[in-house]
Amino acid sequence: MILITPVFVALAPLAIPVPAQAQYSHDAQAVIARARAASGGTAWNTLRGWHETGTDGAAAYERWIDPLRYGMRVEMHEGAGGGPPVVRGFNGAGEWGISPAGQQTGTGDAGRLATARTEDFYGVYGFLYASRFDAHGRLVGEKRAGGRNFDVVLVEPWRAAARELWFDRSTGLLGRMIERDGARTLTVELSDYRKVGPLKVAFRFVSSDGPEGAARVRQIRTLDFAPADRAMFSLPAQP
């Protein structure tokens, strides 16, 4: 692998896509195909953009994701003020940020890149594109929680966090995601499914990392699929 300096990675206008080499077991493919059909079917192939606004905890946010290849930008407004946001970005090769004061940071840190890639992959339902994003998946089996039965698939994206995806057997829709990292377990409950154009997606995400951890709620307010300029996923050049 060619190593690129953090500065170049942060400023790279286009990420070099990794060839998709997804390998899902036959049973996992069947569960995911059912989830895809329940949430829009072939309409997922028509997406060229993903743009949402909402609240994440007490903060208002706006997020853009590229469903064709890795690319993400998040602008977070803390509090009720109308000042500049905290900006985070990921272009597939580099992860970066801009503070409200305008200070830019770019890094090639593997941990931060993995975190950004994880948010990007699951944020745009990357597991529904078996040949687009490099990932592996296998069926764990059937589990029951909250009075519902789930088919559980373990998905492992390339250089991102593996998650158990719990698909409701009655609807086919994704009901929860579980990410295990040593002693820490992150659980994300998905609900409030709504139709947006031809797709049916979750609008409410409740995350917790343990029985004593405070739950964090992310609520989508608006969602559209307008494509974004790829340049917005890269750190802008310093004046």
User: pLDDT tens across 106-119, in order?
Assistant: 877 899 999 999 99
Residue 9 pLDDT class (50, 70, 90 cuts): very low
**pLDDT score at 4:** 35
- pTM, full prediction: 0.88
Residue 191: beta bridge partners?
204
The pair of structure tokens assigned to 57 is: 């905890």
Instruction: Look up residue 122 and give its two tokens.
Output: 């699951």
Candidates 135, 191, 143; CA nearest to 152 is 143
CATH assignment, 6-12+22-233? 2.50.20.10
Q: Kindly report, residue by residue over 69-99, the tens digit of the pLDDT.
A: 999 999 999 876 668 999 999 999 999 999 9
| Residue 185 CB partners (closer than 8 Å, separation 6+) | 178, 179, 209, 210
Residue 8 CA, chain-centre distance (Å), reads 24
